[in-house]
C-alpha cells in the first residue's frame, strides 16, 4: 500500500494446512496494494496461534503463515470480503470433531461461512478447491452460479450449485452477486481484480445510500 493511512476495509481469508501457494503470495501483494488489509483466520483449537504450511508444490513447504485470529470469535460483518483459500485447506476447515445424525456441519469455519453467506453486503470468494468448504452445507451453494476445478465438479453440483461451463471445461471466472469464484490458481489475478471491483461497487452503493 503506497499510503498506509488509506484503508478501505478488511478481507478475511479462511486458511488451514495445505493452502495454495500461488493464491497466498498474490493475495498478500495485491489486496494491500488496493487498500485492503488481509487478515487470516482459522479454528485454533484453543491455542493463541497456529502455524500452517502451504502445499508442498516442489516437494517441500515454501511458505508458512502464523494465524492468531480464531474464526469462532470474529463477526463476518466486520469484513468487506471473505475468501476461502484454495488447496486442501478447504477440506481441513470443514472437519468437525463430533457428529450427530441429521445435524448440519458444525465445524467453526462452516458456521462462520453460514453467517457470512447471510450477509449480501459482504463479498465472498473461492478458487479451485475452495468450494469444498461450501459443500459442507448444501444450503450455501444451492442455485448459485459458480466455477471450480474439474476434479471437484461432482461435489459442487451435488451441493446444488450451477457450474458455468465454457468449451470443454469450466469457465475461468463467475460473479454471481456477492459470490465470486475462480477456476484454479492460474486465474488468481483475474479473480482478485474482479473481487476488488465488486468491493468498490459495493462501497459506492453504500456511499450513495447515505
pLDDT at 210: 72
Q: Examine the pLDDT at 68 and tell me if it is beyond 50.
A: yes
pLDDT at 2: 46
> Which domain, by its residues, includes 72?
9-209
Average pLDDT score over the chain: 95
Overall number of domains in the chain: 1
Strand residues in 107-182 grouped as ranges (E): 123-127, 145-146, 162-163, 165-166, 169-170, 173-176, 179-182
Asked if the structure places residue 2 within a domain, the reply is no
- CATH number of 94's domain: 3.40.50.880
Residue 125 β-bridge partners: 83, 180
Residue 1 lies in a domain: no
**pLDDT value for 6:** 79
Question: pLDDT tens across 32-67, in order?
Answer: 999 999 999 999 999 999 999 999 999 999 999 999
Q: Does residue 40 lie in a domain region?
A: yes
Nearest alpha carbon to residue 129 among 12, 26, 18, 51: 18
Q: Residue 80 pLDDT > 70, yes or no? A: yes
Amino acid at each position: 500500500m503506497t499510503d498506509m493511512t488509506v484503508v478501505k476495509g478488511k478481507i478475511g481469508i479462511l486458511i488451514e494446512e495445505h493452502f495454495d501457494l500461488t493464491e497466498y503470495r498474490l493475495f498478500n501483494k495485491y489486496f494491500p496494494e488496493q487498500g485492503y488489509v488481509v487478515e487470516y483466520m482459522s479454528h485454533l483449537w484453543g491455542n493463541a496461534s497456529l502455524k500452517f504450511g502451504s502445499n508442498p508444490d516442489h516437494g517441500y513447504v515454501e511458505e508458512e503463515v502464523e494465524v492468531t485470529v480464531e474464526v469462532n470469535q470474529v463477526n463476518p460483518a466486520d469484513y468487506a470480503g471473505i475468501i476461502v483459500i484454495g488447496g486442501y485447506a478447504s477440506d481441513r476447515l470443514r472437519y468437525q470433531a463430533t457428529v450427530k445424525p441429521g445435524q448440519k456441519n458444525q465445524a467453526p469455519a462452516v458456521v462462520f461461512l453460514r453467517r457470512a453467506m447471510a450477509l449480501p453486503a459482504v463479498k465472498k470468494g473461492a478458487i479451485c478447491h475452495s468450494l469444498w468448504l461450501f459443500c459442507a452445507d448444501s444450503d450455501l451453494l444451492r442455485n448459485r452460479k459458480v466455477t471450480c476445478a474439474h476434479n471437484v465438479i461432482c461435489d459442487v453440483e451435488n451441493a446444488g450449485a450451477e457450474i458455468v461451463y465454457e468449451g470443454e471445461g469450466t469457465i475461468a471466472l463467475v460473479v454471481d452477486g456477492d459470490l465470486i469464484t475462480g477456476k484454479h490458481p492460474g486465474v488468481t489475478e483475474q479473480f482478485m481484480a474482479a473481487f476488488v471491483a465488486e468491493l468498490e461497487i459495493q462501497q459506492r452503493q453504500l456511499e450513495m445510500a447515505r
